[in-house]
Amino acid sequence: MIKLLKNTNNRHTLKHGTWALSNLCRGRPFPKFDLVKNAIAPLAQVIKVENDPEILTDAAWAMSYLSGKFELI
């Protein structure tokens, strides 16, 4: 999913990929940080360059989830 977001120019893929990644990051129990840390850079890039409110919302939620508590073990 992360590689897909890094390498797509397709709006449909970007929208649904950001939404899916956001949902994967919010799971309970919290995902292990090692499994989701590589999502930070692509999500930050989406936030920098995107203007679609839905995509921005999903990217911002994902970053919010990533800044929460994680299982570090």
pLDDT of residue 73: 43
Domain span at 41: 10-66
- Residue 2 within a domain: no
Look up tokens 């939404």; give the residue: 19
The Cα 64–Cα 30 span in angstroms is 13
Q: Is the peptide bond before 42 cis (omega within 30 degrees of 0)?
A: no
**Both tokens assigned to 29:** 């129990």
- Residue 44 within a domain: yes
- Residue 5 within a domain: no
**Is pLDDT at 16 greater than 90 in this prediction?**
yes
Split into its structural domains, the chain has a count of 1
pLDDT of residue 2: 86
- Residue 46 within a domain: yes
